[in-house]
């Protein structure tokens, strides 16, 4: 891994720790993602962890990479063990220098692996914030992670003309010019940084 490619390990471990802090009686609670419960978001994290691990290895599963829509009712009881394990595997897969080379695919979309790795980091960071807010847990992440995500999301927002990217995030939410970097990132993904459960 070159110095320009981020380590997904801290974000993956942080998200796993946040998931461990989600009480069973909160699984039906809303999240900052519109019309999405915590259970549905956990199911999404479960699926994306596997998908981005396969993307790092350039593996296309039988039937393609387009995953079914997340469904909280489909969350199996073993998720508390399975999802953290998949997050660990995701981080490990992207520590391989070859993960960042060439083209790869996830979610039915092909793109340069270097971009895909940053999409994965952004998913971990932003959904970590979502889970923290929805479950009433504190959230803090490294400045370097936020800067990597801001570069990726900023480019995506610019390419969309400020309208958001379907399937990825909604149109940006306005924030003050002096907003902290994490608030700016969250706002760029179409979420309100002041959202509370």
Q: Give 166-182 as a DSSP string.
A: TTTB-SPPP--TT--HH
Contact 126, 189 (CB under 8 A): yes
Can you tell me which residue has the tokens 């490619």?
A: 5
Q: Which CATH class is domain 9-140?
A: mainly alpha
Return the closest-CA partner of residue 84 out of 22, 139, 133. 22
pLDDT digits (tens, 9 = 90+) for 9-45: 999 999 999 999 999 999 999 999 989 999 999 999 9
More confident residue, 71 or 162: 71
Give 112's strand partners. 103
3 has a pLDDT exceeding 60? no
| DSSP 8-state assignment for residue 99 | G
Q: What is the pLDDT of residue 160?
A: 81
Q: Domain locations in the chain?
A: 9-140
pTM, 2 dp: 0.94
Give the mean model confidence (pLDDT) for residues 96-103. Answer: 97
Residue 1: its pLDDT value, please?
40
How far is it, in rounded angstroms, from Cα 172 to Cα 96?
33
The answer for residues whose C-beta is within 8 angstroms of residue 4's C-beta and 6 or more apart is none
Rounded mean pLDDT of 46-61?
95
């Amino acid at each position: 891994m070159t110095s320009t490619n981020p380590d997904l390990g801290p974000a993956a471990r942080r998200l796993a720790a946040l998931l461990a802090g989600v009480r069973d009686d909160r699984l039906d609670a809303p999240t900052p993602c519109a019309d999405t419960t915590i259970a549905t978001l956990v199911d999404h994290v479960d699926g994306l962890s596997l998908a981005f691990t396969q993307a790092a290895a350039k593996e296309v599963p039988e039937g393609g990479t387009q995953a079914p829509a997340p469904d909280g009712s489909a969350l199996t009881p073993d998720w508390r063990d399975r999802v953290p394990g998949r997050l660990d595997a995701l981080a490990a897969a992207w520590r391989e220098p070859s993960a960042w080379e060439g083209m790869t695919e996830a979610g039915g979309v092909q793109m340069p692996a270097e971009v895909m790795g940053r999409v994965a980091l952004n998913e971990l960071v932003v959904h970590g914030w979502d889970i923290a807010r929805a479950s009433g847990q504190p959230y803090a992440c490294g400045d370097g992670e936020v800067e990597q995500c801001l570069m990726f999301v900023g480019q995506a927002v610019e390419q969309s003309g400020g309208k958001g990217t379907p399937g990825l995030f909604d149109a940006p939410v306005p924030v003050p010019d002096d907003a902290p970097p994490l608030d700016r990132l969250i706002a760029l993904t179409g979420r309100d940084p002041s959202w509370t459960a």
